[in-house]
Amino acid sequence: MILRRLLAADPSPPDYRDPTDERYWGTDSVRSASGAVISADGAMRCSVAFACSRVLAESVAQLPIGLYRRVDRSRERVRDDLARLLTRKPNGWQSAFEFKELLTMCAANRGNGFAEFVPDPAFGPLGRLEPIVPEYVTTEQLTSKRLRYIIRDPNRGERTLTQDEVFHLRGPSMNGITGMSIISYAREGIGLSITSERFAARQFSRRPMHAGVLEVPATFKDLEASRRMADSFQRAYSGEAGWFRPAVLEGGAKYTSVGISPQDAQFLEGRKFQVPEICRWYRVPPHLVMDLEKATFSNIEHQDLGFVKHTLVPWLRRWEGALWRDFDLDDEEYFEFIVDALLRGDTLSRATANRIATGGAAWKSPAEVRETENLPYMEGLDEVRQPLNTAAPDRLVDGGAKPNNDPGAPKDA
């Protein structure tokens, strides 16, 4: 059996990792029904799974995040070492974007993203955040209901960390302790996509001609003669050298195909179906992974808004909740991602909305609008302006409207 597998194996360069060869992947690898061995790393060979993971991770990583404190009915931005870890420099080799991208990618595919709080005075009282490979981590819940993490790092050995020493970002979970791996649940669809792509590649690179029968009216005198003719025909008309070359058969020979073409087997339609199938697992609209077949100019903006509301915002809430829990914030402190930039429309729509917000029944000051549009601050624009024809009679002073945000201004006698 082993010898037959070795003889049937296709020659490949030494650095090529065959996604169907379990020797190259870790202990989390599982063979799908299509024959492909699927692991968290091997699944990234599927272009749709890779694109969905990238869309989620980059969408989260690009958003600014702020640390706020509630003050009466308002809030104030807190700028300290705690916020610096996630806005500028979480460790000595990653940017904040790279850190958030990595943990989101791990949580989206493997179900969990981990980072260790490592004491380092240069990074403040919490130290720096060092990502941990999810496959190295075993999460256990103690009788006290707190968690501990057993890290089996092949380079650093085994060690145990408490819940206070780990930042843990979970994906959707069935037990509340660890997140579910999308790869493990979607391995059949991803495996089918990888296997289909490999089949298509083989068709073009090695077998552009379907299996068939070469009919020769004459009878060969020996078996060697028939082999020589079959070998010469295969060398001339199969593989890359035989693409688009007309066959020239001598002596009345005739070639009859007995194979089924990929088109007849609806092969291309099957590959197209795999795109929305895998997108469904990640809840990513197909147009974001460059499948524009059903996207139009009239609906693509609404699809983008749907992605923000139904896919991205849940991931942001996971981040915010995990940060509040693991950074041990006060009840009045919280992290929040700023998603306004993703919800903006075109320039005309934004200008109309800003004009409405600052005029009539105004609820924004010009300074707030300038901050939303990423414009520099200007003095004298902090008041919410109330037009005369919309102000209540007791709000009028000296023939004008008293500012809504100035409760101490004198009333008209």
User: Can you tell me the distance from the alpha carbon of 27 to that of 38, in angstroms, rounded to the nearest whole number?
Assistant: 11
Q: Are 39 and 133 in contact (CB under 8 A)?
A: no
- pLDDT, mean of residues 335-359: 72
Q: What angle (nearest 5°) sits at the alpha carbon of residue 113, between those of residues 112 and 119? A: 140
Q: Is the alpha carbon torsion for 341, 342, 343, 347 positive or negative?
A: positive
Residue 264, pLDDT score: 52
Rounded CA gap, 279 and 312, in Å?
14
Average pLDDT, the chain: 76
- What confidence score (pLDDT) does residue 254 get? 67
Per-residue pLDDT band at 20 (split at 50, 70, 90): very low
The pLDDT, as a whole number, for residue 345 is: 59
Region 244-259: mean pLDDT is 56
Residue 140 to residue 147: CA distance in whole angstroms: 6
Higher pLDDT, 285 or 202: 285
From first CA to last CA, the distance across the chain in angstroms is: 102
Would you mind telling me the total number of residues written for the chain in this entry? 413
Contacts of 260 (CB under 8 A, 6+ apart): 210
User: Residue 273: enclosing H or E segment and its boundaries?
Assistant: helix 267-282
Question: Is the pLDDT reported for residue 400 higher than 90?
Answer: no
Element (H or E) spanning 357, and its range? Answer: helix 347-358
Residue 290 vs residues 52, 276, 379: alpha-carbon distances, Å = 10, 11, 45
Report the interhelical angle of 47-62 vs 187-205 (nearest 10°).
Answer: 120
Residue 256, pLDDT > 80, answer no
| 67, β-bridge pairs | 78, 335
**Confidence check: pLDDT of 8 > 90:** no
Region 176-199: what's the mean pLDDT?
A: 86
Do residues 260 and 212 touch, judged by C-beta distance below 8 A? Answer: no
Better pLDDT: 241 or 125: 125
Rg (CA), the chain: 31
Check pLDDT > 70 for residue 300.
yes
Buried b (16+ CB within 10 A) or exposed e, 48-84: bbbbbbbbbbebbbebebbbbeeeeeeeeeeeeebbb
Query: pTM of the entire structure?
Result: 0.70
Which of 83-92, 177-186, 317-326 has maximum average pLDDT? 317-326
Using one digit for the tens of pLDDT, what is the confidence trace for 152-173? Answer: 999 889 999 999 999 999 999 9
* DSSP reduced 3-state for 7: helix
d(CA 174, CA 195): 30
Rounded to an integer, what distance in angstroms lies between the CA atom of residue 57 and that of residue 185?
A: 19
Distances (CA, A) of 107 to 212, 383, 385: 49, 43, 46
Q: Which of 113, 107, 114, 115 is nearest to 172 (CA)?
A: 107
Lowest mean pLDDT, pick from 14-28, 80-94, 137-151: 14-28
Give the start-end residues of each E strand in 216-363: 254-257, 333-337
Query: Which residue type, as a one-letter code, is found at position 213?
Result: V
**Domain extent listing, the chain:** 16-204+261-343, 211-257, 347-401
Query: Taken in order 35, 41, 45, 49, is the CA torsion positive or negative?
Result: positive
CA 73 to chain centre: 36
> Which pLDDT does position 413 carry in this prediction?
40
From the list 196, 126, 207, 173, the residue with the least C-alpha distance to 318 is 173
How large is the average pLDDT for residues 227-236? 69
Report which of 155, 123, 163 is spatially closest to residue 139, judged by C-alpha positions: 163
Confidence of residue 174 (pLDDT cuts 50, 70, 90): very high
DSSP type of residue 140: E
